[in-house]
Structure 1
Amino acid sequence: MAVLRSILALLAAAGILLAPPSGLFGTTPRAGALPYVVGQLLVAAPTMPDPRFARTVIYMVDHTAEGAFGLVVNRPLGAGPLDKLIKGFGIDPGQATGEVVLHYGGPVDSGGLFVLHSTDWKGPATPAALGPLAMTADTEVFRAIAEGGGPKRRLVLVGYAGWGPGQLEREMARKDWLTAPADPDLVFDDDVATKWERASALAGITL
């Protein structure tokens, strides 16, 4: 809870949601463009050499020749009141109730807040979904939630996982990562303790 309170305080002081890195989101044609990984799960191999990504499951929002952008979906930081998070952005929380679980999205841009969500909702600043899920980095998603709308399923994440040109391809060639279909039920469920194991099974990893 101490970690969550400090992050909420930081976000409330900033009062903004940061945009995703430039250069992604559809800048490169993907027809037959393997090994680009978009709209899939990136699953850390048991032999992952980078401790920051050990046993992580990442939803890949985009991947082009310019780089890759994903969000870790199995590292919750803590929970806090949803209305306080919304109020921290200067938005009337309305009838918003319950708690929000804040997740660690990755080691890049620890001040950036992102919402990974189902595609039943789309805001003006939501990029076109390149897979079964969408991502929004704009306060409009919280305004919609406060008004009783917004996406039915969502993860709120701080930071993201990012790779430069060719970096992820090299890591995949070393077998640091495997890929699996992005099952929304796995992404959004609360069984965090087994999420890596279940994603590994989908990726064909025998543990």
Structure 2
Amino acid sequence: MGRTRRKDVKVNTSGPGPFLEGKCLVAMPSLQDVHFNRSVVYVCAHSEEGAMGIIVNHPAPGVNLVDLLLQLKVVDSSDATRLAEAVGDQRVLTGGPVDASRGFVLHSADYRADDATMRIDESVSMTATLDVLRAIAHGDGPRKSILALGYAGWSPGQLEQEILANSWMICPADSALLFDPEHETKYERALGVIGVDLRFLADEAGHA
């Protein structure tokens, strides 16, 4: 489907924008792409030039926030215990197949790094620099956050075509769906928000 191609999308840095920014995409059961199966994607940017989003329910195997901060030398080993007590065993997410080694932090709007933070809507922003990780490590970061490696990108018109092809459903985003650590239940919860029964969808997919 071409989702692994990198697409640099111009985004709205001044506040809420048009299209699907600030909403979630929920994968239909028929979408069997290895990266997007049973995924919930938060749309960070969407315009005529394309779209980008972060998968918010796929933990990266064997990676947690403390280990990653140590690896990036944001903190040293002497701070690891204190940091683990502060953030717990917070998992790092697989945000998508594009730029998979780059970190993106979705967070509450109470944190802003000048020229580095993109405001998505009134309650959610995104920062993709080490500034936010340093702030989290030192207790000065956003109240709520998730860290993902990589993102999902769509070329112009591609996301619209996939929605018309019934690959995605659209779901309102809320703080719990984005930020709580129960990632394994987010897919079913997102379907519940829009009143969809997964059993019905599975039956439909089986008869397609």
The question of a shared fold, defined as TM-score above 0.5 by the shorter chain, is answered with: yes
Is 1:102 the counterpart of 2:92 in the alignment?
Answer: yes
Q: Which residue of 1 aligns with 2:111?
A: 121
* Equivalent-residue separation in structure 2 for 1:144 and 1:23 (angstroms): 27
Following superposition, the deviation at residue 21 of structure 1 comes to 5.7
Q: For the Cα contact (< 8 Å) 1:40–1:131, is it kept in 2? A: no
Is 1:161 the counterpart of 2:152 in the alignment?
Answer: yes
Following superposition, the deviation at residue 86 of structure 1 comes to 2.8
Structure 1 regions of 5+ residues with no counterpart?
Answer: 1-19
Q: How many residues align?
A: 183
Q: For the Cα contact (< 8 Å) 1:96–1:146, is it kept in 2? A: yes
Q: Which residue of 1 aligns with 2:46?
A: 63
- One-letter amino acid of the structure 2 residue matched with residue 80 of structure 1: N
Structure 2 regions of 5+ residues with no counterpart?
Answer: 1-5, 199-208
Is 1:80 the counterpart of 2:92 in the alignment?
Answer: no
* Equivalent-residue separation in structure 2 for 1:171 and 1:114 (angstroms): 24
C-alpha RMSD of matched pairs (Å): 2.5
Is 1:25 the counterpart of 2:11 in the alignment?
Answer: yes
Secondary structure at 2:29 match in 1: coil
* Equivalent-residue separation in structure 1 for 2:65 and 2:24 (angstroms): 29
Q: For the Cα contact (< 8 Å) 2:21–2:120, is it kept in 1? A: no
Out of 134, 138, 153, the position equivalent to 1:147 is 138
Q: For the Cα contact (< 8 Å) 2:59–2:92, is it kept in 1? A: yes
Following superposition, the deviation at residue 111 of structure 1 comes to 1.3
Q: 1:149 to 1:206 in 2, by over 3 A?
A: same
Q: 1:123 to 1:204 in 2, by over 3 A?
A: same
* Equivalent-residue separation in structure 2 for 1:144 and 1:122 (angstroms): 10
